[in-house]
Structure 1
Amino acid sequence: MTQERTTSQEKQGAAASLLNGFAVLEALATSSRPQLGVTEISAIVDLHKSTVSRMLTGLAEAGYVERDESTGRYRLGLGMIGLAGPLLAELDIRRVAAPYLEELTDTTGETSAIAIWNGAEGVVVEQYASPHQVKHSASIGTRYHRFASSSVRVFLATLPDEEVERLLSPDGSIQFDGSLEEARAALAEVREAGVAINDGGTTVEEYGVSAPVHDYRGEIAGCLTASAPRTRVQHLGTQEKLMEAVLETAAMITARLGGREGARG
Structure 2
Amino acid sequence: MVGRPRQGSEQTQGAAASLLNGLAVLEAFSIAQPVLGVTEVAGRVNLHKSTVSRILAGLTEAGYVQRDEETGRYRLGLGVIGLSGPLLADLDVRRAALPFLEALTTQTSETSAIAVWNGQEAIVVEQVRSPHQVKHTAAIGTRYNRFESSSVRVFLAGLPPARVAELIESGLVVRSSADGLPQDYAAHLAELRDQEYAVNDGYTTDEEFGVSAPVRDYRGVVVGCITASAPRSRVQKLQSADQLVAAVRKAAAEVSARLGQPQA
Superposition TM-score, scaled by structure 1 size: 0.63
AA partner of residue 259 (structure 1) = Q
The answer (yes or no) to whether the contact 1:89–1:221 under 8 Å persists in 2 is no
Q: How far did 1:129 drift?
A: 0.4
The answer (yes or no) to whether the contact 2:217–2:223 under 8 Å persists in 1 is yes
Aligned to 1:188: 190
How many residues align? The count is: 175
Aligned to 2:216: 214
Aligned to 2:8: none
Aligned to 1:113: 113
Structure whose residues are more often helix by fraction: 1
What does 1:31-180 correspond to in 2, within 5 Å? 92-169=92-169, 171-178=170-177
| Counterparts of 1:129 and 1:260, CA distance in 2 | 31
Aligned to 2:207: 205
The SS at the match of 1:173 is: coil
Distance 1:209 1:91, change over 3 A: same
Distance 1:180 1:103, change over 3 A: closer
Unaligned runs of 5+ in 1: 1-84
| Counterparts of 2:104 and 2:217, CA distance in 1 | 20
The answer (yes or no) to whether the contact 1:100–1:253 under 8 Å persists in 2 is yes
| Cα deviation code 1:129-171 (max 9, x no counterpart) | 00000000022001111000000000000101110000101x2
| Counterparts of 1:105 and 1:90, CA distance in 2 | 25
| Counterparts of 1:213 and 1:206, CA distance in 2 | 22
The SS at the match of 1:176 is: coil
Superposition TM-score, scaled by structure 2 size: 0.63
| Cα deviation code 1:174-227 (max 9, x no counterpart) | 110359961112101211211100000000000000000000001011000000
Distance 1:89 1:198, change over 3 A: farther
Q: 2:239 aligns with which of 237, 240, 245?
A: 237
| Counterparts of 2:153 and 2:89, CA distance in 1 | 21
CA RMSD of superposed structures (Å) = 2.2
| Counterparts of 2:101 and 2:254, CA distance in 1 | 11
The answer (yes or no) to whether the contact 1:116–1:124 under 8 Å persists in 2 is yes
| Counterparts of 2:248 and 2:89, CA distance in 1 | 21
| Counterparts of 2:184 and 2:90, CA distance in 1 | 31
Q: How far did 1:90 drift?
A: 10
The answer (yes or no) to whether the contact 1:90–1:116 under 8 Å persists in 2 is no
Detail structure 1 runs of 4+ shifted over 6 Å in the superposition: 88-91
Aligned to 1:81: none
| Cα deviation code 1:222-255 (max 9, x no counterpart) | 0000000000000000101100000111110000
| Counterparts of 1:134 and 1:189, CA distance in 2 | 32
Aligned to 2:227: 225
